[in-house]
Structure 1
Amino acid sequence: MNTETLAARRVVLDLLESVLRRSVPLDDALDQHRGLAGLEPRDRAFVRLLTATVIRRLGQIDAVVMSMLARPDLPKGGVLDILRVSAAQLLFLGTPAHAAVDTGVELAVGKGLAGMKGLINAVLRRMAREGAELVAAQDAGRLNTPDWLWLSWRQHYGTGHTRAIVDAHLVEAPLDITVKGDPRAWAERLEATLLPTGTLRRAAGGSVTELPGFGEGAWWVQDAAAALPARLLGDVAGLNVIDLCAAPGGKTAQLAAAGARVTAVDRSAPRLERLSRNMERLGLSATTVVADAARWQPDELADAVLLDAPCSATGTIRRHPDVARLKTPEDVGRLSTVQRRLLDRAIDMVKPGGMVVYCTCSLQPEEGDEQLSKLLSRRQDVMVEPVIPVDLAYGPDADATALAPLVTDAGDVRTSPGHWADLGGLDGFFMTRLRRTA
């Protein structure tokens, strides 16, 4: 096993330690790891893929590892992570058995676990023989979903829809792109599928910055569902629009590209700096304000406000599998309180007759329709402006029938990883359009 291969897998072990034991989000762990930049681009991509695969398939992997052990509990710390990394390669990434086994043993030696070589070797050799059959018999979606999420979703959405959600989480999300204009032409140039919402979709993988149009600022990466809230505001040309909790800036870019005068508010200065750099690349402009949106007051009331509120992000698990391992029911309760405060502030910032779009990238009802119900019960100066499917379409010739499943009977929008499964799914969002009436 060459030095570069071992170095990449050592980085994976470090990342798993950060995510699974220190509760660091995977993207942050990747940004913070000093050794990652020293790897070749191909090895960096493999590190990300292997780490995400372990986390995405953690329930399945641990079940297989458990079945290979004589003791009724999993080994601790470094030994367990070495087995997980090797299992992900054996069971899901197609790594040759001898390479995965040998790497596992060498990682143990490098981690000062030479005394566990025999156990690791025996478990992995048996896994190479029997693992595929065990995986084929597993209930993959259920095993990889924490109990609290499974129970919450099943109660709210029903078993069938929950099955569609957890099955979608097993597959890496595609690359979604929002263009400033002419989506049909860019779909051809980027060899992408044009979705009914106007988003362009490509298979995941490769260098985003090397794709046509990136350098000239013709488009940006944004999940298809995340591109919908800004569209719910309708024609914003010439309007003063506040984008609360704006970073990383996809919605800010949409609003600016549509001709709005945008004020982007976020409490994180570094994230707003990144937003500003993205806007510069795209040739767009917005006023940025570093502030807590729950306390900030605009100089004048806006024509419209878009609030993409902080949330549990359980709708993004297919893109961020670590969310399933890091978030808890307590997070949902805490964030629901934050959302309530921000939603009231958003309404206070808009003119009478103006519009507010509230959204969260969460599948939890407490952060979606339940939040809306509580708002309507405590405030008399706001009403729902119902959404219809054509509001989500990018043009008059788009297939509105494909958009109908995204609109609820109440006129809100609920997207789910199980929607458009044949096209690659969607992130899970709740969004509602509100009109201030007084």
Structure 2
Amino acid sequence: MSDTGVPARLSAVYMLDQVLGEGRLMSELLGAGVLDKLPVEDRARAARLAQDTLRSLERADRILQKHLSKYPPLTVRNALRVGAVELCQGAAAHGVVNAMVEVVSRQKNFGHLKGLTNAVLRKVAADGPEAWAALRAPRLPKWLRGPLVEAWGAEAIGAMEVAHFAGAPLDLTAKSDPKAVADATGGVLLPNGSVRVSDAGQVSAMPGFDAGDWWVQDAAAAVPVQVLAPVAGERVLDLCAAPGGKTMQISASGAQVTAVDESPSRMKRVGENLVRTGLKADLIVEDARAVTGSYDACLLDAPCSATGTMRRHPDLPHAKDGSEFGDLIDLQEQLIDHAWSLVRPGGRLVFCTCSLLPDEGEVQIDDALLRHADMTVNTPVPDGIDPAWITSEGGLRLRPDYWADKGGMDGFYIARLDKSA
């Protein structure tokens, strides 16, 4: 890692420019290799700085606005945001200010604003930390906050925003022995059997990684397979399967799993994880709507807005504007209907989305019931899950503010649909 921290900060500012100026997702940027030239430590630092700044954007802007008569160009503003977040979170003022001045001085068209950067960040170093502590948790952008408040109420959304600001710990799913994984990694067992690890560090260096004893998977993301409850010997179809956590859960149950996803690169990762964990699945790279056959059970983790994962991916509400939601909702409907055609009589389908929007969960099931006379909602409550989270149409609603005392969870909607015999 560089002594000055300038390369990591330059990369963090670049990623913020791309997210806030171009609407690109951090996963897309990282997949394109924007950090590949940095040492491993600097890559982690750059990603953390960008995520912390996105998570704290409203706070950073409130701290900066009293020191600015007008906002500078986006790149300089993002440099100030990164610096403000670091300073207000306790980083040494001298190192942060000097590094951010250097970052701005290296910008082709904005080098003349290094004096402004120096002056503003020195003022933030003096009064920012105290003001920071008094500010509320940052609010979601208006385009998303409005629909969510309408769905869940202002108090619930406020609690979710607190969870988003807190970020997310690392959750693991054990292949066979959750307690042994918790003991080995220093984690704690969650009520549903997931293992939660704080301050995990480099994942691949953790005990049990090379042996394939576990894989990374948010506790909420592990619940759909627990609802599906696959049985050894069953033929189970996992649609839209990448990155493969649910595929491995199904395989670990002893079921014969066929995993389908249209992304070759993401399915390559699924294959690598199966090899690491010693689990087996038939992998098919194909549009889920083109799959044929008959299965005892099907899991459909449909493409969605991913609004339930914002505590882990704080770029989402800033890179998106909701314009694609209509197409996603239409696609989910098509996928439900096709998946239902692949479930044998007497079989079952679990539909889930990592979304907080009822249109991508509860409403989809209400509509599906009208289209399919042989469909019944029958969602069991897995161990450790509060029965009060079952919704009026019979699905299971998970939210980031649930398990607040344990570090929260991703937002998910899950429903099991039984087909009449």
**Class of the TM-score when normalised by the shorter of the 2 chains:** over 0.9
2:406 & 2:138 partners in 1: Cα distance?
19
Trace 1:335-346 onto structure 2 (pairs within 5 A).
335-346=328-339
Which residue number corresponds to residue 138 of structure 2?
A: 141
Which residue number corresponds to residue 56 of structure 1?
A: 55
- Given the superposition, is the C-alpha separation of residues 180 and 33 from structure 1 closer, same or farther in structure 2, using an over 3 Å criterion? closer
2:53 & 2:291 partners in 1: Cα distance?
44
- Asked if structure 2 preserves the Cα contact closer than 8 Å seen for 1:240 and 1:260, the reply is yes
Aligned-pair CA distance for 1:28: 2.4
Describe the SS at the equivalent of 1:419.
coil
Q: For 1:375-431, what per-residue CA distance to the aligned partner results, in whole angstroms no more than 9, with x for missing partners?
A: 1122212110132x3xx11xxxxxx4x633433354321111100011110000000
Aligned-pair CA distance for 1:4: 5.0
1:222 and 2:217 aligned: yes
Identity of aligned residues (%): 42
2:36 & 2:143 partners in 1: Cα distance?
36
Which residue number corresponds to residue 9 of structure 1?
A: 9
Which one of 306, 313, 318 corresponds to residue 306 of structure 2?
313
Write out the 4+ residue segments of structure 1 that deviate beyond 4 Å after TM superposition.
Answer: none
Which residue number corresponds to residue 258 of structure 2?
A: 263
Trace 1:418-437 onto structure 2 (pairs within 5 A).
418-437=401-420
Which one of 324, 341, 346 corresponds to residue 348 of structure 1?
341
- Asked if structure 2 preserves the Cα contact closer than 8 Å seen for 1:312 and 1:335, the reply is yes
1:123 and 2:124 aligned: no
- Asked if structure 2 preserves the Cα contact closer than 8 Å seen for 1:176 and 1:222, the reply is yes
- Asked if structure 2 preserves the Cα contact closer than 8 Å seen for 1:196 and 1:403, the reply is no
Aligned-pair CA distance for 1:11: 1.3
- Given the superposition, is the C-alpha separation of residues 137 and 191 from structure 1 closer, same or farther in structure 2, using an over 3 Å criterion? closer
Q: For 1:329-373, what per-residue CA distance to the aligned partner results, in whole angstroms no more than 9, with x for missing partners?
A: 222222111100001111011001110000000001110101111
Trace 1:195-344 onto structure 2 (pairs within 5 A).
195-294=190-289, 296-298=290-292, 300-344=293-337
Which residue number corresponds to residue 396 of structure 1?
A: none
1:386 & 1:261 partners in 2: Cα distance?
22
- Asked if structure 2 preserves the Cα contact closer than 8 Å seen for 1:363 and 1:429, the reply is yes
- Asked if structure 1 preserves the Cα contact closer than 8 Å seen for 2:6 and 2:100, the reply is no
2:285 & 2:350 partners in 1: Cα distance?
21
Which residue number corresponds to residue 77 of structure 2?
A: 80
1:64 & 1:76 partners in 2: Cα distance?
17
Which shifted more, 115-124 or 423-432?
A: 115-124
Which one of 355, 376, 380 corresponds to residue 373 of structure 2?
380
2:96 & 2:368 partners in 1: Cα distance?
54
- Asked if structure 1 preserves the Cα contact closer than 8 Å seen for 2:348 and 2:416, the reply is yes
- Asked if structure 2 preserves the Cα contact closer than 8 Å seen for 1:172 and 1:204, the reply is no
Which residue number corresponds to residue 65 of structure 1?
A: 64
Amino acid at match of 1:222: Q
Which shifted more, 113-122 or 51-60?
A: 113-122
Amino acid at match of 2:106: G
Segments of structure 1 that go 5 or more residues without pairing to the other structure are 394-399
Which shifted more, 221-230 or 185-194?
A: 185-194
RMSD: 1.8
Describe the SS at the equivalent of 1:386.
coil
Aligned-pair CA distance for 1:153: 1.7
Which residue number corresponds to residue 399 of structure 2?
A: 416
1:213 & 1:133 partners in 2: Cα distance?
42
1:286 & 1:128 partners in 2: Cα distance?
54
1:82 & 1:185 partners in 2: Cα distance?
44
TM-score normalised to structure 1 length: 0.92
1:204 & 1:426 partners in 2: Cα distance?
17
Q: For 1:123-161, what per-residue CA distance to the aligned partner results, in whole angstroms no more than 9, with x for missing partners?
A: 11221222223323322232xx11122221211111221
- Asked if structure 1 preserves the Cα contact closer than 8 Å seen for 2:258 and 2:284, the reply is yes
Which residue number corresponds to residue 102 of structure 1?
A: 98
Describe the SS at the equivalent of 2:288.
coil
Amino acid at match of 1:107: V
Which shifted more, 47-56 or 149-158?
A: 149-158
Which shifted more, 163-172 or 104-113?
A: 104-113
Describe the SS at the equivalent of 1:274.
helix
Which one of 361, 365, 368 corresponds to residue 368 of structure 1?
361
- Asked if structure 2 preserves the Cα contact closer than 8 Å seen for 1:332 and 1:366, the reply is no
Amino acid at match of 2:6: L
- Asked if structure 1 preserves the Cα contact closer than 8 Å seen for 2:362 and 2:393, the reply is no
Amino acid at match of 1:99: G
Which shifted more, 416-425 or 114-123?
A: 114-123
Which residue number corresponds to residue 180 of structure 2?
A: 185
1:312 & 1:204 partners in 2: Cα distance?
28
Describe the SS at the equivalent of 2:312.
coil
Aligned-pair CA distance for 1:437: 1.9
TM-score normalised to structure 2 length: 0.95
- Asked if structure 1 preserves the Cα contact closer than 8 Å seen for 2:366 and 2:393, the reply is no
Which one of 400, 403, 414 corresponds to residue 386 of structure 2?
403
